[in-house]
Structure 1
Amino acid sequence: MEDQSSTRIDKYLWAVRLYKTRSIATEACKKGRVLMDGLPVKSSRMIKPGDVISIKEPPITKQYKVLDISGKRMGAKLTSDFIKDITPDEELEILRLTKIANQLNRPRGMGRPTKKERRDIDNFFDPDED
């Protein structure tokens, strides 16, 4: 019988809804995206309350603290009782800046900006000119 004070990391990541399927969580472990103590972990690694899990989601690494163990997938509202996001503010700032930078770049193949888009770009760089 499985001990409820610890569970496999892939099963836990799936249960707390960090990954859509357990096989995706297992694949993330195999690719070295899931870390504990700065080292990649296998999907069979047992975790317990108090452990800190790091997940590489380029361009940042998110960190989570295990509050409680569950082997069954739960509703999104219940996950806050089982896991806490402890990602540093510096990492979240990098993510915010990356999103802003990506909004300014046009996807390749989109052609020239329309007249309205050119006006918006001009207003963004020179807001005092109207």
Structure 2
Amino acid sequence: MTSTVRIDSWLWAVRLYKTRSMATTACRGGHVRVNGERVKAAYPVKVGDEVRVREHGFDRIVEVARLATKRVGAQVAAECLVDRTPPPPPREEVALAPMRDRGAGRPTKRERRDLEKLRGRELPED
């Protein structure tokens, strides 16, 4: 068995990405970091490396526990990595954006002012 594996191949093998080309694209886009540095798809990863994958605006932090070159089942994939991702913030802390009902038309002047006040941007009085 080899002591290193390409990062895109490992990400695909442990099921962090659905396809290897998606893993390669993420590496190209700078969404994958190994030990704090952005890496290319061919970067060799070894046991003990910390891998950060940017997903939906949050970092997923995993540690390489075992190398895999071929895609493996979900149970085996879970053994190949140690998930060190902190828990997401509670729902209450995440501010919800105000939404208008579909087909409600443009907001009135009063509704627009209320929306701006809710967003924290006070408009100068006319």
| Both proteins in one fold, TM over 0.5 | yes
The answer for the alignment partner of 2:51 in structure 1 is: 53
One-letter amino acid of the structure 1 residue matched with residue 102 of structure 2:
M
Q: Distance in 1 between matches of 2:74 and 2:39?
A: 25
Checking the alignment, whether the CA contact within 8 Å between 2:35 and 2:49 is kept in structure 1 is no
User: Pick from 7, 13, 29: which aligns with 1:15?
Assistant: 13
Secondary structure of 1:5's partner? Answer: coil
Which of the pair has more CA radius of gyration?
2
The answer for the alignment partner of 1:97 in structure 2 is: 91
The answer for the alignment partner of 2:33 in structure 1 is: 35
Q: Percent identity?
A: 38
Following TM superposition, by how much is the alpha carbon of 1:24 offset from its aligned partner in structure 2, in angstroms? 0.5
One-letter amino acid of the structure 1 residue matched with residue 3 of structure 2:
S
Following TM superposition, by how much is the alpha carbon of 1:60 offset from its aligned partner in structure 2, in angstroms? 1.4
Q: Residue by residue, what CA displacement relative to the aligned partner does 1:40-63 show, whole Å, maximum 9, x if unpaired? A: 100000011100000112321110
Over the aligned positions, Cα root-mean-square deviation in angstroms equals: 2.4
Secondary structure of 1:42's partner? Answer: coil
The answer for the alignment partner of 2:102 in structure 1 is: 110
Q: Residue by residue, what CA displacement relative to the aligned partner does 1:89-114 show, whole Å, maximum 9, x if unpaired? A: 3xx22xx5399655x754x77345xx
Q: Distance in 1 between matches of 2:93 and 2:18?
A: 23
Q: Which runs of 4+ in 1 moved over 4 A?
A: 98-102
Q: What TM-score do you get using the length of structure 1 for normalisation? A: 0.69
- Return 5+ residue gaps in structure 1 as ranges: 113-130
The answer for the alignment partner of 2:109 in structure 1 is: none
Q: Distance in 2 between matches of 1:98 and 1:29?
A: 33
Secondary structure of 2:72's partner? Answer: coil
